[in-house]
């Protein structure tokens, strides 16, 4: 359905609800209507309200003329611009994006019960698990996150884990129109910091865990944690689910002003992990909560998913879902693309494709790969680091890589930085390691080499890119080229080890 037309006075009234400054309308009669809020002048459609957002490298006020030529009906500004369009002048355009984005999308969140998921690792998987739980309860649920937006069998791409507020509200509107009554939203720390989820209130906020990341944006670890903790403020969430197996989660559970369900292996956890087992066939977890003990099976592979499963269980319980329905939902959720995706096997080495891009996530991924090795098997790790992002992590990634048997250092997308310099920083963490270290700058060649070198009992672990299919080595996004780790690995497996062996009837029965 098209976005609703909203009158100019209604826009002014909604803007006035945002604290912190005067709202002044310049031009435009009460009969003026706008349709849709847009932050990119290249996406302006006739009748749009164009928001002139000040960004890190660009100021939307400079593009007001282009927006006018594209048919914008009015401008949202925080300083006057010499463009012959009605303007709504506010103290901060960015602070208005959530409330006005909601208004111009028809306030879709009012028709949805929302779950927000934040954490350094595990957001995408936990979000998918929560959606599976809610779908199993018979309520159509949408999800917005790193892999895009989806509801039912429909999907749409997104450029960011948490889209800018106007796009996010339009996606929620799309979900409502598709029959959704609940939605799961991945809330990144940057999105929380800059206000992309302003105007939303969540029934449950979920915290999956914490480690250093995105310090190029936040500056300090404390600021990074504080950004994530914002999801648990009283005006954003009614309740929380927090993994408390590390100090940052325990601190959040202690300090959050909303009721919190604690998840983990600690004795005081409300949803307690009593035991687990994982392998190529999936993961089994034994949980205990106020209703007793529960066995959960999931096709997800790896011990890293144990707390993801427990957090999704807890979220279902907070939302009132029956335990049997929760278990059914968790059992049906396939691994999200690029999250411990397992390829190969049956006489060929296993290949695991994972998004692990922080030191702790990499350590967990290597441990999972070790668990999947056959007798005497080795772990071959293909490792890079993204250019112009979080340089402080590179030595830590190298340190986590020490647990592999063979490390193939390569390019993950240099974004204009010197790829050799990135590899050199990774090498610092590997100094003195028992692992054999090879440098193959071309990522495709590195994957082919690792698969070629692997024996049937070995595991080849490809990390850092996960679901991504484009790699960029310059500062111009137009230079990105296609590269899909899973696709390259599948080709390499067939070339080096032949096609997969089809299971016999007896094997399938067993």
32-59 confidence digits (pLDDT tens): 999 999 999 999 999 999 999 987 778 9
Average the pLDDT over 88-107 and give the result: 95
Instruction: Report the pLDDT value the prediction gives residue 73, as an integer from 0 to 100.
Output: 97
**Most confidently predicted of 53-62, 204-213, 300-309:** 300-309
Residue 192 pLDDT > 60: yes
Q: What is the DSSP string of 345-378?
A: -SSS-EEEEE---SHHHHHHHHHHHHHH--TT--
Q: Please state, in angstroms and rounded to a whole number, the distance separating the CA atoms of residues 485 and 446.
A: 10
Q: Please state, in angstroms and rounded to a whole number, the distance separating the CA atoms of residues 407 and 397.
A: 11
Q: Please state, in angstroms and rounded to a whole number, the distance separating the CA atoms of residues 49 and 39.
A: 9
Roughly what angle, to the nearest 10 degrees, separates helices 123-136 and 305-318? 40
Q: Mind listing the pLDDT tens digit for each residue in 9-37? A: 999 999 999 988 889 999 999 999 999 99
Question: Rounded mean pLDDT of the chain?
Answer: 91
Instruction: Report the pLDDT value the prediction gives residue 209, as an integer from 0 to 100.
Output: 84
Q: Mind listing the pLDDT tens digit for each residue in 170-188? A: 999 999 999 999 999 999 8
Which among 103, 134, 137 has a CA at the least distance from the CA of 11? Answer: 103
Query: Is 196 marked as a binding-site residue?
Result: yes
CATH for 341-497 (3.30.300.30, 3.50.50.60, 3.90.190.20, 3.90.79.10): 3.90.190.20
Average the pLDDT over 100-115 and give the result: 96
User: What is the CATH architecture assignment of 108-332?
Assistant: 3-Layer(aba) Sandwich (3.40)
The two three-digit tokens of residue 352, written as one number: 């695991």
Alpha carbons within 13 angstroms on the beta-carbon side of residue 432 total 2
Q: H-helix or E-strand containing 383?
A: strand 379-383
Query: Is 155 marked as a binding-site residue?
Result: no
Residue 135 pLDDT > 90: yes
Question: Using 50, 70 and 90 to split pLDDT, how confident is the model at 510?
Answer: very low
Which among 420, 370, 368, 373 has a CA at the least distance from the CA of 394? Answer: 420
Q: Please state, in angstroms and rounded to a whole number, the distance separating the CA atoms of residues 273 and 265.
A: 5
Give the start-to-end residue ranges of the domains of the chain: 6-93, 108-332, 341-497
Instruction: Report the pLDDT value the prediction gives residue 216, as an integer from 0 to 100.
Output: 58
Helices (H), 297-355: 305-318, 323-332
Query: Is 188 marked as a binding-site residue?
Result: yes
Q: How many Cβ atoms are within 10 Å of 302's Cβ, its own excluded?
A: 25
Residue 303 pLDDT > 50: yes
Question: Using 50, 70 and 90 to split pLDDT, how confident is the model at 121?
Answer: confident
Two domains, one topology: 108-332 and 341-497 = no
CATH number assigned to the domain covering 6-93: 3.40.1390.10
- What residue has token string 């056959």? 374
């Amino acid at each position: 359905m098209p976005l609703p037309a909203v009158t100019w006075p209604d826009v002014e009234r909604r803007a006035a609800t945002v604290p912190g400054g005067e709202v002044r309308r310049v031009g435009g009669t009460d009969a003026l209507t706008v349709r849709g809020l847009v932050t990119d002048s290249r996406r302006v459609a006739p009748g749009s309200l164009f928001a002139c957002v000040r960004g890190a490298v660009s100021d939307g006020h400079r593009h007001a003329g282009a927006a006018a030529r594209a048919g914008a009906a009015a401008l949202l500004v925080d300083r006057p611009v010499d463009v012959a369009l009605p303007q709504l002048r506010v103290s901060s355009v960015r602070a208005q994006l959530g409330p006005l984005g909601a208004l111009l999308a028809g306030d879709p969140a009012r028709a949805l019960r929302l779950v927000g998921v934040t954490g350094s690792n595990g957001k995408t998987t936990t979000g998918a698990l929560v959606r599976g739980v809610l779908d199993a309860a018979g309520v159509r649920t949408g999800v917005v996150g790193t892999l895009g937006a989806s509801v039912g069998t429909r999907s749409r791409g997104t450029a960011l884990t948490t889209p800018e507020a106007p796009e996010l509200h339009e996606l929620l509107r799309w979900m409502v129109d598709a029959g959704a009554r609940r939605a799961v939203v991945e809330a990144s720390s940057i999105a929380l910091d800059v206000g992309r989820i302003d105007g939303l209130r969540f029934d449950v906020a979920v915290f999956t865990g914490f480690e250093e990341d995105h310090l190029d944006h936040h500056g300090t670890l404390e600021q990074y944690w504080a950004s994530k903790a914002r999801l648990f403020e009283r005006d954003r969430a009614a309740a929380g689910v927090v993994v408390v197996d590390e100090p940052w989660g325990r601190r959040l559970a202690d300090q959050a002003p909303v009721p919190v369900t604690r998840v983990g292996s600690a004795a005081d956890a409300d949803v307690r992990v009593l035991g687990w087992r994982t392998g190529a066939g999936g993961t089994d977890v034994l949980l205990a909560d106020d209703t007793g003990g529960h066995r959960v099976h999931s096709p997800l592979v790896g011990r890293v998913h144990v707390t993801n499963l427990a957090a999704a269980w807890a979220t279902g319980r907070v939302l009132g879902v029956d335990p049997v329905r929760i278990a059914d939902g968790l059992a049906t959720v396939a691994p999200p693309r690029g999250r411990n995706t397992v390829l190969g096997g049956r006489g060929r080495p296993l290949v695991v494709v994972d998004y692990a891009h922080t030191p702790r996530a990499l350590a967990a991924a290597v441990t999972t790969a070790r668990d999947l090795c056959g007798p005497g098997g080795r772990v071959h790790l293909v490792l890079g680091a993204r250019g112009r992002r979080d340089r402080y992590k590179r030595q830590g990634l190298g340190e986590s890589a020490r647990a592999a048997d063979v490390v193939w250092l390569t390019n993950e997308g240099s974004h204009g930085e010197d790829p050799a310099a990135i590899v050199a920083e990774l090498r610092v963490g590997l100094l003195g390691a028992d692992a054999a270290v090879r440098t193959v700058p071309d990522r495709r060649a590195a994957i082919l080499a690792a698969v070629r070198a692997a024996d049937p009992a070995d595991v080849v672990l490809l990390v850092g890119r996960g679901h991504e299919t484009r790699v960029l080595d310059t500062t111009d996004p137009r230079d990105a080229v296609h590269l899909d780790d899973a696709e390259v690995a599948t080709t390499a497996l067939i070339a080096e080890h032949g096609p997969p062996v089809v299971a016999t009837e007896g094997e399938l029965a067993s």
